[in-house]
Structure 1
Amino acid sequence: MSVYTPVNSLQLEQFFSTYSLGKVTDFEGIRDGIENTNYFVTTTRGRFVLTLFESLTADDLPPFMDLMTHLGKSEIACPRPLPDRQANPLRILIDKPAALFNRLAGAAVTSPSIAHCRQIGLHLARLHNSTQAYVFPIKNSRGLDWCQRVFTEIGPALCPADRALIGDELRVQRQNSTNLLPRGVIHADLFRDNVLFVDGRLSGLLDFYSACTDALLLDIAITANDWCCDNGAVNPDKFAALLSAYETLRPLEPMERQRWPLMLRAAALRFWLSRLQHRLHPRPGEITQQKDPLVFRELLEQHRGQASVISPRPATWPSCFRPAADNRRRTDSGDSEYDTDCTVSS
């Protein structure tokens, strides 16, 4: 949520004058994330989050506003769009669509514990269950076709080893359709920086602008790849905690268990490509955040080295996540370095 569009105090005061939320007393840009411009804003009547949408248009946004309103009514802890005096949840600020939200208490965790993983699994299942009858018109725009387009775009800038790995994974994924898996509304970006905790308890799910209708298993895989890996290495206990908590509310179907290893690979590939694209074609911004693509390259290789499926019994899940052989060498500083660290050619 880097600041691509700077906003000054006068512009903020004029924007807030159309709401019944008091006068602006303080504001600051939010540094996390990479898609939209976000500010914390404090007024005489409370604390809010202002979002200026950098890619989505005013026509694109109503389904997302409606989804967050629906989730709030379903008691899912997420930001609620706040209407202006004319009941409009969207306005224009500096030629960008903009919206105000209540600011949720809490902070993101950088090193999730097993207890954190249990909570995120439970809340992800609640999210999926609460939208089973909800019709969301947005399809996944970052599926395999998107992965192929990005690979075609950035492939010439990658080293031969990376091009070979991505090309082979795309081939495998194309051979394994997900069309018969249970589908519904997925968050599609439930990383650690999009979840808040207060005193160890989950207090909010953020950033629903990647939400779409797709396989529910994909959402679990995207989430687990971030929450259940320590410095790029699979943590079997965290995977087991997240999955067992999820299944207390929504048991997985046999086909989902069978497809789990491939879905983990698909999720790792999607975010490796996304981060490579951001690194090779960065967007200008006042505050920007570049995330390391190598994390997902390493994760994809680990998942490709495993052939297990989820056992029907949670107690045996950890055996499904034995890391593949470690291809790292240790440096004098104690840090790990990969022999295949050749993401972008010079």
Structure 2
Amino acid sequence: MGVLTKLTLKEINCLIKDTRVSFNAIKETSTGISDTTYIGTSKSKKYVFKLYEDSSVKDIENQIKILKAIKSLNVPNVLSKKINLYNNRPITLFSYIEGDVIKSITKNHLKQITLFLASLHSIKEIEVSKNDVYSKQNFEKMLYSLSDSKIREEIKQKYQKVKDIDLKANALIHGDLFPDNVKFIDKKLSGVYDFTQSCFGNINFDIAVVVISWCFKDYRFNKSFYELILNTYNKYSKLQIKKESFKEYLLYACLYYSLQRVYKNTKKDYAEYLKKFQIIDEMI
């Protein structure tokens, strides 16, 4: 989450009037690279207002459908009665999830988020209309459209290692489950949010995203965290992760998020996941 489009309190209240919620105050969020997110307060109750910078109305309709289908899990409620537009970009109002984004990750945190994914992947009673945004086809489309030839060739060279990866879709996935999309209260998972890119995709990729974002501190890879995630998932999920072939999913996830950062014009941190690619390639 973050703020890319500055909005006033009056503008936001006008956009959410169909929800019968009116904010007394708004606060900008500070993290995220994709959308504009404000925390609004009404009579001491908090809400999340989101303006989608790149997503279509169809994408948001898909996200709402998913959130309603998985409401038994720790996810936000959709409060908007309809999808309103601001300069042709969709907006949505959500319930606020109490808790804190963790600063120091523990095995307890990892176990809980892995169990959440095992539950998410088990949900079958939903038809997702959104295409798999994490597919090789989408990856290659982003890669070959890069204008920076140096970065394009750098990523392309590494991609040769995983270009034959099997990304067959087999479950509903989150796909973007970084630590800043999760909250905890007293070491207990209180909620998971930002399902904008959720789709019917590959579970290995979904787990790999957690590994590359939760198992590193700076550039030190915690292999015991990695083992805990895989063992917990395989213990509690009917779907299974094959450890012997999982490395390529970790490498692909690193490349995907490095490429996405370049594609979204945030070149300053694209190298982070290329460094992680190299570390994982050497350690696993």
User: For 1:17-52, what per-residue CA distance to the aligned partner results, in whole angstroms no more than 9, with x for missing partners?
Assistant: 33233x321111111111111110111272111111
Using the alignment, how far apart are the partners of 1:170 and 1:110 within structure 2? Answer: 31
Residue 236 of structure 1 pairs with residue 223 of structure 2: yes
Whichever residue aligns with residue 60 of structure 2, its letter is L
Q: CA deviation at 1:216?
A: 0.8
In structure 2, relative to structure 1, the CA distance for the partners of 1:95 and 1:253 (3 Å cut) is closer
Aligned to 1:40: 39
Q: Could you say which residue in structure 2 is the equivalent of 1:122?
A: 115
In structure 1, the residue matched to 2:153 is: 163
TM-score by length of 1: 0.75
Classify 1:16/1:149 alpha carbon distance in 2 versus 1 (closer, same or farther; 3 Å).
closer
**Structure 1: how far apart are the matches of 2:19 and 2:201?**
36
How far residue 89 of structure 1 moved from its aligned partner, in angstroms, is 3.6
Where do 4+ consecutive residues of structure 1 move more than 6 Å? none
- Determine the C-alpha separation between the residues in 2 that align with 1:10 and 1:89: 19
The equivalent of 1:139 in structure 2 is: 131
Aligned positions of 1:47-126 closer than 5 A: 47-72=46-71, 75-83=72-80, 88-126=81-119
- Shift of residue 94 of structure 1? 4.8
- The 8 Å contact of residues 121 and 171 in structure 2, kept in 1 or not, is answered as yes
1:266 paired residue among 252, 259, 266: 252
Q: Which runs of 5+ in 1 are unaligned?
A: 283-289, 307-320, 322-346
Letter of the 2:106 partner, please give it.
S
CA distance in 1, matches of 2:14, 2:201: 40
**SS at structure 1 position matched to 2:19:** coil
Total equivalences in the alignment? 284
Comparing both chains, which one has the higher relative contact order based on Cα–Cα distances under 8 Å and sequence gaps of 6 or more? 1
Rate the CA distance shift 1:253–1:14 in 2: closer, same or farther, 3 A.
closer
- TM-score, reference length from structure 2: 0.90
Superposed, 1:329-344 pairs within 5 Å as none
2:55, 2:258 → 1: CA distance? Answer: 22
Contact 1:27-1:42 at 8 Å conserved across structures = yes
Whether the 8 Å contact between 1:189 and 1:222 is mirrored in structure 2 is yes
Q: Which amino acid aligns with 1:15?
A: L
For the residues of structure 2 that align with 1:300 and 1:89, how far apart are their CA atoms?
41
Residue equivalent to 1:222: 209
Matches of 2:13 and 2:125 in 1, distance apart?
A: 40
Partners of 1:191 and 1:3 in 2: CA distance: 18
Indicate the structure (1 or 2) with the bigger Cα radius of gyration: 1
SS in 2 for 1:61: helix
> 1:239, CA displacement in angstroms?
1.0
Long gaps (5+) in structure 2: none
User: Structure 1 residue 24 and structure 2 residue 43: aligned?
Assistant: no
Q: Aligned partners of 1:137 and 1:291: how far apart in 2?
A: 33
Of 30-39 and 144-153, more deviation after overlay is shown by: 144-153
Question: How far does residue 235 in structure 1 lie from its aligned partner after superposition?
Answer: 0.5
Report the equivalent of 1:148: 140
Contact 2:29 2:39 in 1 (8 A): yes
**How far apart in 1 are the matches of 2:230 and 2:51?**
35
Q: Tell me, what secondary structure is at the counterpart of 1:132?
A: coil
| Separation (CA, whole Å) in 2 of partners of 1:207 and 1:40 | 14
The residue aligned with 1:6 is: 6
Deviation at 1:10?
A: 1.9
Q: Name the aligned partner's letter for residue 255 of structure 2.
A: L
SS at the partner of 1:76?
Answer: coil
Q: Structure 1 residues 167-176 or 261-270, which shifts more? A: 167-176
